[in-house]
Amino acid sequence: MNQRQAKQRSQIGTVTRVRESVVDAVFPNGIPAVHNALRTGENREVVIEVLDHLDEQTIRGIALTSTQGLARGSAIEDTGQPLRVPVGERLLGRVFNVFGETIDGQGPIEGGEWRSIHQKPIPLVRRVTRTEVFRTGIKAIDLLSPLERGGKAGLFGGAGVGKTVLIMEMIHNMIGQHEGISLFCGIGERIREAVDMYDEVREAGVLNNTVLVYGQMNEPPGARFRVGHAALTMAEYFRDDRRQDVLLLIDNIFRFIQSGSEVSGLLGRLPSRLGYQPTLGSELAELEERISNTEAGAITSIQAVYVPADDFTDPSAVHTFHHLSASIVLSRQRASQGFYPAIDPLKSESKMLVPHIIGRRHFEVAQEVRRTLATYEDLKDIISMLGLEELSRQDRRTVERARRLERFLTQPFVVTEQFTGIKGHLVDADDTLDGCERILNDEFSEIPENDLYMIGTIDQARTKGRGGSEDENRHTNVESEVVGQNAQADEDKPRSEDGS
């Protein structure tokens, strides 16, 4: 027997136990390493990742595909390497699964460079220690909850509040402003959601600078658990090799934790508090710590976060918040009033909103905007019961400023031009600060508040009041009427004792 035949023989084992997605196998001539990919089944279609060594010959792995038809005694082959995915510019505009296989019906990607999905985080000595703000061009975010370049932001929002549109606009701005790459990772996505996302990215014209990776909801927990690592491997290539900034969008990080809990339960590990896996913290950190910035580039991540039963003390939420540098909360109430993006300015926050990072001017303007909007929120109960006329002159002035600020913080998006008829605007942070300062100084007190609705910079309010294009004015009149009706209905509706 030559050396090659001996090596091939050492890679073949036998399945000894199959329990749902958990597979045990014996390799008498050499045990595979942890994280190695194994293949079995009639056509080697069943993929298993080694997670544990039970003894010197027996492994326990988790199947990343269906184990239907797999039986004891089946031959199982060690591939000798971990799961790998392709990297390179050839990925742009394509859709992949956890194995690096294309699922967009446009042919496979073969050859070229493939890398392991298990990569170590960048060591501290290679990370950039200075803190930089990541500008999105979206007024409400850049003003009140600025993002960190190379950091993580949580996006909180249910269905129908504009989460997908906000993600699409960030992808567009990333390409136009930073000349970077956008990578969308869907963990536990429904097929309908995946198709809708692909169609919207394509229709928005940003598909050629975007990579989409999906671990769908109908797939085994092992596939959903590893798809985030696969997406990060692709993102790290563009950061480290192409020296480009990457915007990584993850939907939903809770499903990553949930799939890890399923894997832990299948492996027979004792659960921790509230049924979560005992390794929750380390598994989440293994994923999150790979998101960082270097001298070459940065991976900036925006992650949709689901909070079970709105309980922010839930272990999944607590561990996730430790990694976030900003929280963006989308409000259904603001969406119903026509304020888009429907970002709640009082609930959204950022660790970057401190004077020594964003500057004294930005900090003071943001604090005054937040204070004005908070005062208006407190006065809404009085207005609904007694009317605006019963307020003091100072309070009425505060209400007028707040209503103008609310409308100024709305913004037409490039990706919604075909639906709204309004040209989208990418707004510089200095222009946003300038506009808010001038509103707070009552410079626009004589201009109708609806002239501040759905504009870019503050100077467009005067142009809008004098005329503007016929299509824009027609759409603006309709939108202004909707906003006015919704705002008035919100003020007139009866309130409960707790103010809700």
Taking the C-alpha atoms of residue 14 and residue 485, their distance in angstroms, rounded to an integer, is 70
Measured from the Cβ of residue 417, the count of other Cβ atoms closer than 10 Å reads: 13
The one-letter code for the residue type at 33 is A
Q: Is 120 in a helix, a strand, or coil? A: coil
Q: Any idea what DSSP says for residue 430? A: H
Scan for tokens 């949709």, then name that residue.
304
Among the residues of 241-392, which ranges form H helices? 253-266, 280-288, 315-321, 332-336, 355-358, 360-386
Both tokens assigned to 441: 């100084």
Scan for tokens 């900036």, then name that residue.
300
Q: Active-site residue 163, yes or no?
A: yes
What is the pairing mode between strands 246-251 and 181-189? parallel
Taking the C-alpha atoms of residue 245 and residue 235, their distance in angstroms, rounded to an integer, is 9
Question: Active-site residue among 7, 190, 462, 495?
Answer: 190
**Exposed/middle/buried for residue 55 (C-beta within 10 Å: 0-12, 13-18, 19+):** exposed
Calculate the CA 374 to chain-centre distance: 27
Do residues 230 and 98 make contact, with C-beta atoms less than 8 angstroms apart?
Answer: yes
Do residues 182 and 167 make contact, with C-beta atoms less than 8 angstroms apart?
Answer: no
Per-residue exposure over 399-409, b if at least 16 CB sit within 10 Å of its own CB, e if not: bbbbbbbbbbb
Per this entry, what is the length of the chain? 500
Taking the C-alpha atoms of residue 43 and residue 40, their distance in angstroms, rounded to an integer, is 7
What is the pairing mode between strands 12-19 and 181-189? unpaired
The closest of 353, 395, 350 to 374, measured between CA atoms, is: 395
Taking the C-alpha atoms of residue 316 and residue 303, their distance in angstroms, rounded to an integer, is 14
Q: Which long-range contacts (CB under 8 A, 24 or more apart) does 330-333 make?
A: 330/155, 330/156, 330/157, 330/158, 330/161, 330/162, 330/163, 330/166, 331/161, 332/158, 332/160, 332/161, 333/490
Question: Active-site residue among 60, 163, 255, 407?
Answer: 163
Both tokens assigned to 408: 């100024």
Taking the C-alpha atoms of residue 81 and residue 40, their distance in angstroms, rounded to an integer, is 15
Taking the C-alpha atoms of residue 76 and residue 26, their distance in angstroms, rounded to an integer, is 9
Taking the C-alpha atoms of residue 170 and residue 177, their distance in angstroms, rounded to an integer, is 10
Question: Active-site residue among 49, 148, 169, 189?
Answer: 189
Q: Active-site residue 393, yes or no?
A: no
Q: Which residues are catalytic?
A: 163, 189-190
